[in-house]
Amino acid sequence: MPQNKRSFFEKLTGSHEKIEIEPEEIVDARGFMDELEEEKEEGQLTVDVYQTSNEIILQAFTSGIKTDDLDISITQDMITIKGKREDHRRVEREDFFCQELYWGSFSRKITLPHEVDPDEAEATLKNGILTVKLPKLDRERVQKLKVKGE
């Protein structure tokens, strides 16, 4: 009895032909990774965003970044954080066993879930954590205006 048992992948795709790959067709993984590294524009900053009754708070790990290397822009409904983490080490790529830290330019644009007052926002950097406090705008609050006489 011939064995015509097909793999799950073959059943899923309908494929039943055996594909042979010549050794020269195999891509060098290191060369491929180098190409990806060159194409990489900038990293994305990881953040936590939460609210209290009066403000929206954003926190991000920014270890190794000087305050002068951070650029924070705020509108009533969006915050943008840009920066750069510079690697001053000179280690050859082939000398790394593992390389997971991100070095280079990064940015993050976040649409806020509530309108905020950009003029009253505060940013602090402590122990490698950036904290941005954004006071919420209260659109339902009514302000009485007094009319001045001449």
Task: Give 60-125 as a DSSP string.
Answer: EE-TT--GGGEEEEE-SSEEEEEEEE-------GGG-S------EEEEEEEE-SS-B-GGG-EEEE
Q: In residues, how long is the chain?
A: 150
> What phi and psi, each to the nearest 5 degrees, are found at residue 143?
-105, 125
Return d(Cα 82, Cα 107) in angstroms, integer: 4
pLDDT for position 25: 53
Please tell me the distance from the alpha carbon of residue 84 to that of residue 43, in angstroms, as a whole number. 9
Q: Which domains does the chain have, with CATH numbers?
A: 42-90+99-135 (2.60.40.790)
- Model pLDDT, residue 35: 57
The separation between CA 140 and the C-alpha centre of its own chain, rounded to angstroms, equals 33
**Closest by alpha carbon to 69, among 83, 54, 88?**
83
pLDDT tens, residue by residue, 1-47: 455 666 666 666 665 555 565 655 555 555 555 555 555 567 888 89
Condensed to tens digits (0 to 9), the pLDDT of residues 100-150 reads 777 888 889 999 999 999 999 999 999 999 999 999 987 777 667 778 877
